[in-house]
Amino acid sequence: MAYDIVLLPGDGIGIEVAHEAKQMLDLVQAELPVSFDIQEIPCGGQFYLEHGSRDWPEGSEERCSEADAVLLGAVGWPSPDGAGPVTMTDGNMAGWSPVIGNRARLDLYANVRKVKKLPGVKARIHGLHRSVWDEGTVDMVFIRENTEDLYAGVGGILPKFRPGEVATDTRVITRAASERVIRMAFELSNQRGHGAPVDGVKRVTSIAKDNVLYGCRLFQSVFKEIGAEYPDIEKDTAIVDAFTQWLIGQPEYYDVLVTTNMFGDILTDLASVLQGGMGMAVGCNVGDSHAMFEPIHGSAPKHSGQDRANPMAMILSTGEMCTWLGARHNDAHLQRAGALIEQAVGVVVEAGETLTYDLVGRQNAAPMSVVSAAIRDAFKSLADQ
């Protein structure tokens, strides 16, 4: 059976890293007894500028619903007048449909973001690339609620005020949506089993701003209720502002973390610094029947077209997709493909010779295409062993 994959390259470096993901999948098919039927669908700001009315072709929603999995590059493109990203007539950013639209329509309620520093990664901290965090101290997973909060689409411009004076975004937090991501966090801590790097304790940390916000109080009360069902797992809560300094100062304390949509968006970009930056960080959008995999970074227009973006987040996303599909279809070959992709990236990182600018600085950087080829070579050697 060929797995039906929809590939959404998007804009800017999204298109470039998606091309590398496609080459990775072609290699997986050549090396292992698995096959993919890959349909590429253009989308995003550049598509909207060319076609005028939609940010992806008609029928794309249905194709994403039918597919076994969706793989996304990144969307978002500057508008020609320089006033921000290309925006559609409905007020949404062009690229909304494949990202936020897919998350809502396919009920991809959890955004699972692994933050793990691969051996040898040197993070860029105040201008230098250095190993600030000891090996083995960064190994946590964030679960970001993915369907509501400030992204629920409730808001607008208040017409009784002059244009450009007042805008609102209403934050929606529900028990049902909170409950399912919180439960997933406890289940994941059990599955991981090894606990936090510092003490081996299985720990779920819930991050909110419950000292001020009603939605956060609801989220934390649901956390308390669900947590009572997991007596073997330590329950930990944090207020989001203070949490930011603990995350950077003591990452070894964390095992699984759960939070609301907007806080999760911001915190995981910050957390990516612990693993080498956004070029290394993966977002798995998962629901009960669908999933979409993407690097957490955007389209980085200023790096576009220069063959210099880090392809690792996208290639690791491809690996996560194989692992998820393999588990879902009980396909050991696909699960092996997922593990080998992660190992292949690890081999190239640890060798330290062929890395993009974000990991080694401009002077020592290799082009994206060369880094991707090195990962494919590593995959081939591992698969042939």
Ligand X SMILES: NC(=O)c1ccc[n+]([C@@H]2O[C@H](COP(=O)([O-])OP(=O)(O)OC[C@H]3O[C@@H](n4cnc5c(N)ncnc54)[C@H](O)[C@@H]3O)[C@@H](O)[C@H]2O)c1
| Span between the terminal Cα atoms of the chain, in Å | 25
Distance in Å, CB of 84 to ligand X, minimum: 8
**For residue 258, what are the contacts with CB-CB under 8 A and spacing of at least 6?**
142, 143, 145, 181, 182, 184, 185, 204, 205, 206, 207, 223
Closer Cβ to ligand X, 205 or 356, answer by number: 356
Contact 259, 115 (CB under 8 A): no
Q: Scanning residues 126 to 145, which ones bind ligand X (CB under 6 A)?
A: none
Closer Cβ to ligand X, 34 or 121, answer by number: 121
- Rounded to whole angstroms, the Cα distance separating 247 from 239 reads 12
Q: Which two tokens stand for residue 325?
A: 């599909």
Q: Which of 145, 236, 320, 358: binder of ligand X (CB under 6 A)?
A: 358
Distance in Å, CB of 15 to ligand X, minimum: 12
241 is catalytic: yes
Distance in Å, CB of 307 to ligand X, minimum: 11
Distance in Å, CB of 294 to ligand X, minimum: 6
Q: What is the DSSP letter of 365?
A: P
Task: Exactly one of 4, 269, 307, 377 is catalytic; name it.
Answer: 269
What residue ranges in 49-181 does DSSP mark as E strands?
69-74, 110-116, 123-125, 128-130, 139-145, 155-157, 167-169
Contact 318, 21 (CB under 8 A): yes
Which residues on adjacent β-strands are paired with residue 10? 74
Distance in Å, CB of 326 to ligand X, minimum: 24
Q: Scanning residues 62 to 101, which ones bind ligand X (CB under 6 A)?
A: 74-76, 85, 93, 99
Distance in Å, CB of 174 to ligand X, minimum: 23
Site size toward ligand X (CB under 6 A) is 22
E strand or H helix at 267, and its extent? helix 261-272
Closer Cβ to ligand X, 308 or 336, answer by number: 308
Helix 261-272 to helix 240-249 angle (10° resolution) is: 20
Residue in the block written with tokens 């698995």: 34
209 is catalytic: yes
359 is a site residue for ligand X (CB under 6 A): no
> What is the pattern of x (binds ligand X, CB under 6 A) and - over residues 284-323?
----------x--xxxx-xx-----xx--x----------
Task: Exactly one of 37, 169, 241, 288 is catalytic; name it.
Answer: 241
User: Closest by alpha carbon to 110, among 177, 172, 44?
Assistant: 177
Closer Cβ to ligand X, 194 or 302, answer by number: 302
Closer Cβ to ligand X, 74 or 341, answer by number: 74
Contact 200, 137 (CB under 8 A): no
Calculate ∠ Cα 116-195-191, nearest 5°. 90
How many of the other CB atoms lie within 10 Å of CB of 53?
Answer: 8
Q: Scanning residues 252 to 291, which ones bind ligand X (CB under 6 A)?
A: 278-279
Calculate ∠ Cα 40-342-1, nearest 5°. 45
- Please return the burial class of 235, using the count of CB atoms within 10 Å of its CB with bins 0-12, 13-18 and 19+: middle
Distance in Å, CB of 85 to ligand X, minimum: 4
Catalytic center residues = 151, 209, 241, 265, 269
Residues in the site for ligand X, rule: CB under 6 A? Answer: 10, 13, 74-76, 85, 93, 99, 278-279, 294, 297-300, 302-303, 309-310, 313, 356, 358
